[in-house]
Structure 1
């Protein structure tokens, strides 16, 4: 099952609920790009050196481990679940995600994870590039202002002081980059069910998706 959509649309939270309800494995593909970004930054690799980043990506072991209601991300055996969510990683992930060689390597890893089915995979190109033949596809969206508020509340709950205005501007920039990326841009699959989650609770959105699956 594929769930795509822009930043702040609630993909991760919804995908976790749906996967738990169905007894499926939840896979956050965005975390994989964040993992490569984190490792590139940690190793001080010049982002202009795409060849080096691609080679590093090929040799990197990324594991996604479901623990209770949390998805833990391991890079070469190290738990980086919190580190990959840091703002400096978020700001640079789009640059790494735009590298064709990196996308190919991670797409192959994602296909291996989902090859046996029973998976809820969320990202930006799951229904269009990773699993174009997915049994069910959903495109989750929400108005930019609401997506910014959600992100602001999420960071605030973690004790981080952030500006709502800056988050809104960052989401606007990210939307543009995601939609205009030359490789696997963010777009709705032709056969995807579109859900505008503006004004909806997580439970309502999850119920909509589960209803769509059971139809």
Structure 2
């Protein structure tokens, strides 16, 4: 039986979180930003003086970190860090941290528990393939690296200080790393619907996914 969930996967800066959040409001569903959870782990490692590229040291932190959500904010051990997880330092370090087996196991387990059995929208890089493979609707949202760099540059929620060229290089590097990592690589689920939003507005993407969701509901 399919889960009443929408799984939105895609590369960095593809607009997954923005679309998922707005879609959740439209459809009156809960929303979980899984990418923010990996950024939170990365932030905690950096603040603890741990090298993000040292897998063993990062793994030892896992029992000391609790990630929660409250009214749109993400908290690490009770401290709000919604903007701190979007800094350039965290962005540069999150790829290796999110590739570690124990980190992913802990996060996937927590994501499934948070999702529960209620209607929910999750976005990330392995939602349709690993976290919620039984989701009723799976979307792979993408856009060209150039468009994604421009969007990140205009993102008010981002704490990045990089210019366009630096963002473009960073995004391409992240794409390559995420697509080739050994654990839960970035790829569309076999039954995911690909949406390239390069030439689409936010409202057009929302209308497209809402229409697909309504079609799925009619088949139940």
Q: Deviations over 1:12-59 (max 9, x none)?
A: 110011101111111100000000000000000133542332232233
Q: Which residue is equivalent to 1:194?
A: 194
| TM-score computed with the length of structure 1 as normaliser | 0.93
Q: Does 1:63 align with 2:64?
A: no
CA 1:147 to 1:160, structure 2 compared with 1: closer, same or farther past 3 Å?
closer
| Cα distance, 1:95 vs structure 2 | 1.1
Per the alignment, in what secondary structure is the counterpart of residue 155 of structure 2? helix
Contact 1:33 1:93 in 2 (8 A): yes
Cα distance in 2 for residues equivalent to 1:31 and 1:115: 19
CA 1:44 to 1:160, structure 2 compared with 1: closer, same or farther past 3 Å?
closer
Cα distance in 1 for residues equivalent to 2:64 and 2:109: 13
Q: Which runs of 5+ in 2 are unaligned?
A: 1-5, 216-220
Q: Which residue is equivalent to 2:9?
A: 4
Q: Deviations over 1:99-158 (max 9, x none)?
A: 111000000000101122311000000000111111111110111111111111226x86
Cα distance in 2 for residues equivalent to 1:119 and 1:169: 33
Q: Which runs of 5+ in 1 are unaligned?
A: none
Q: Does 1:25 align with 2:30?
A: yes
Q: Which residue is equivalent to 1:126?
A: 127
Please provide the CA RMSD for this pair: 1.6
Contact 1:2 1:131 in 2 (8 A): yes
CA 1:158 to 1:51, structure 2 compared with 1: closer, same or farther past 3 Å?
closer
Contact 1:58 1:105 in 2 (8 A): no
Cα distance in 2 for residues equivalent to 1:93 and 1:160: 14
Q: Which runs of 4+ in 1 moved over 2 A?
A: 46-52, 157-162
Q: Does 1:208 align with 2:212?
A: no
Cα distance in 2 for residues equivalent to 1:158 and 1:98: 22
Cα distance in 1 for residues equivalent to 2:144 and 2:52: 32
Q: Which residue is equivalent to 1:162?
A: 162
CA 1:118 to 1:51, structure 2 compared with 1: closer, same or farther past 3 Å?
same
Q: Which residue is equivalent to 2:107?
A: 106
Cα distance in 1 for residues equivalent to 2:54 and 2:149: 32
